[in-house]
Amino acid sequence: MACADSKVDLCTVPLTALNVTVRTRLGLFLNPRTAVASDWKALAEKVDFGYLEIKNFEARLNPTAVVLDEWQARSKDATVGKLLGILEKLERNDILEDLRSAIDEDVRRYLERMANLPLQVHIVDSCVPRTPERHGLTLEDNLEGAPELFDAFICYCQSDFEFVHEMIRELEQTDYRLKLCVFDRDVLPGSCVWTITSELIERRCKRMVVVISDEYLNSDACDFQTKFALSLCPGAQQKRLIPVVYKPMKKPFPSILRFLTVCDYTRPCIQAWFWTRLAKVLSLP
């Protein structure tokens, strides 16, 4: 399926290209239950969600949005083209007619953003950087040898830095002897933030710890880091991303991470096991 005003194959454009407005309008079409038209449940079945998963989605205020978020988090096949193809098979031509121009506009903007990203090496067969600019990114990088490697990249916002300090004390300065990548401490200044971040998450760090808080939900940097890490391990097959909650939240937990087991520091009854569990998963090969 091609973009209406170009030769772009929409089956190669990830679902993340669709912005909030299009997703909200999709919900307005698909959330209501009707006897004459396929709804969000039909979409969920088409993208391989099971009965129990769909029953759980029923309790959500916007189940269509949840289906889209969960689908893109667990499948590399979650593309704009496949979504449009499913809507066509479900005979929801009303949606296609109403939203097609908005979808094409989102795709156009997404492709423009991708075209402006720094050029990256397409094939990497080891953790050793292939281009000179990827040497000297962190404090202990050896310019004449292998780059500095870490057990985990810590995704956090500035308001949660006190907890990050506690994490450093508990995981690095104890018998666990783990090596964490803390951006404000370990990364040298002067390079493109997005290039450095993707390099560290994909090639330098075995895993990523995501410190979830209300402030995290408003952070563009945390949003980029989380979605990039999820794209490397759809379905969390390698336990690459570990969500951590350390204080009560007023806002809903991010739906894109709901399918992952959470390390919860807010429950007093399990705090004694918190650091041991986190250290164990970060120590895995």
pLDDT at 234: 60
Q: Do the domains at 10-116 and 150-283 have one common CATH topology?
A: no
Tell me which long-range contacts 215-222 makes (C-beta under 8 A, separation of at least 24): 215/157, 215/158, 215/159, 215/160, 216/156, 216/157, 216/160, 216/254, 217/251, 217/254, 218/157, 219/157, 221/157, 221/193, 221/197, 222/155, 222/156, 222/157
| Domain 150-283: homologous superfamily in CATH | Toll/interleukin-1 receptor homology (TIR) domain (3.40.50.10140)
Poorest-pLDDT segment among 9-18, 60-69, 233-242: 233-242
Give residue limits of the domains in the chain. 10-116, 150-283
Q: How far apart are CA 34 and CA 47, in angstroms?
A: 20
pLDDT at 127: 45
Look up the pTM and report it: 0.55
pLDDT at 137: 87
Instruction: Give the fold, CATH level 3, of 10-116.
Output: Death Domain, Fas (1.10.533)
Q: At what angle do helices 20-30 and 93-115 cross, to 10 degrees?
A: 160
Which residues, 6+ apart, have CB-to-CB distance to 28 below 8 Å?
none
pLDDT at 37: 85
5 pLDDT above the threshold of 80: no
Mean pLDDT of 16-34: 90
Mean pLDDT of 219-232: 89
Q: How far apart are CA 168 and CA 56, in angstroms?
A: 36
Mean pLDDT of 74-97: 91
Question: Residue 280 has which token pair?
Answer: 């164990």
68 pLDDT above the threshold of 60: yes
pLDDT band at 105 (very low <50, low <70, confident <90, very high): very high
Residue 196 CB burial class (10 angstroms; 0-12, 13-18, ≥19): buried
With a pLDDT cut of 70, the percent of the chain lying above it is 89
Mean pLDDT of 227-245: 77
| Closest residue by Cα to residue 251 from 205, 224, 216, 280 | 216
pLDDT band at 52 (very low <50, low <70, confident <90, very high): confident
In this structure, are residues 61 and 126 in contact, taking their beta carbons and an 8 Å threshold? Answer: no
Mean pLDDT estimate for the chain: 86
pLDDT band at 128 (very low <50, low <70, confident <90, very high): very low
